[in-house]
A and B are shown apart, each in its own frame.
Chain A
Amino acid sequence: GAGVSQSPSNKVTEKGKDVELRCDPISGHTALYWYRQSLGQGLEFLIYFQGNSAPDKSGLPSDRFSAERTGGSVSTLTIQRTQQEDSAVYLCASSLRLAAKNIQYFGAGTRLSVL
């Protein structure tokens, strides 16, 4: 596709439910990142996939969060037993492998609201 696509754009869920957020990166980009952005805050790194290497999961805030990337393309971020503090915008980005400037191209995000 032309850019990074994320779905859904908005998700409202009840506390305790599981949610899945989807990211379609730019075709040919081997690196994929998930970030979280709370209102008026910076981007918080969650997880990073690079090709077939083991993902860097160092930013996942708890074991309720997990992500996978199938076939080196689409990625799904799963949040189990959602809590109100999980409410945020979840942003996905992709980049070319080891590009000199590491330009990351972001999707429009999924706004998650946990009631």
Chain B
Amino acid sequence: GQSLEQPSEVTAVEGAIVQINCTYQTSGFYGLSWYQQHDGGAPTFLSYNALDGLEETGRFSSFLSRSDSYGYLLLQELQMKDSASYFCAVRRNQGGKLIFGQGTELSVKP
């Protein structure tokens, strides 16, 4: 079967750094994506890793270790607007189908 594990909830304060982990077990792996979803909103793309290492995009970074079947999303200088759900998703092959984790709800407190 296919499974992705990520924490259900994370709480942090404004200005802090938070890391959201994702471990996966899938038959086939091509890349790991991260999406953000605000309450009642559409998921929006944040980051993608196909190779081991760190990808940085502004305040957000994403890391992948293929040998450990593990990745994380790092959010720096947290802002209240970062309160949302964050999903990791595995792309198993060159096709576009994604398998999503259950999501991590991030609450940013003042």
Q: How many residues of A contact B (CB 8 A)?
A: 28
Q: Which of A38-96 contact B (CB under 8 A)?
A: 40-45, 48, 50, 56, 59, 91, 93, 95
Contact pick for A43, options B31, B43, B45, B94, CB 8 Å: B43
Choose, from B13-21, B63-71, B76-84, B100-108, the stretch at the interface.
B100-108
- The answer to whether A50 and B95 touch across the interface, beta carbons within 8 angstroms, is yes
CB-defined contacts of B97 to chain A, threshold 8 Å: 33, 45, 48, 56, 59
- The answer to whether A102 and B87 touch across the interface, beta carbons within 8 angstroms, is no
CB-defined contacts of B100 to chain A, threshold 8 Å: 35, 42-45
Binding site for B on A (CB under 8 A): 4, 31, 33, 35, 40-45, 48, 50, 56, 59, 91, 93, 95, 98, 100-109
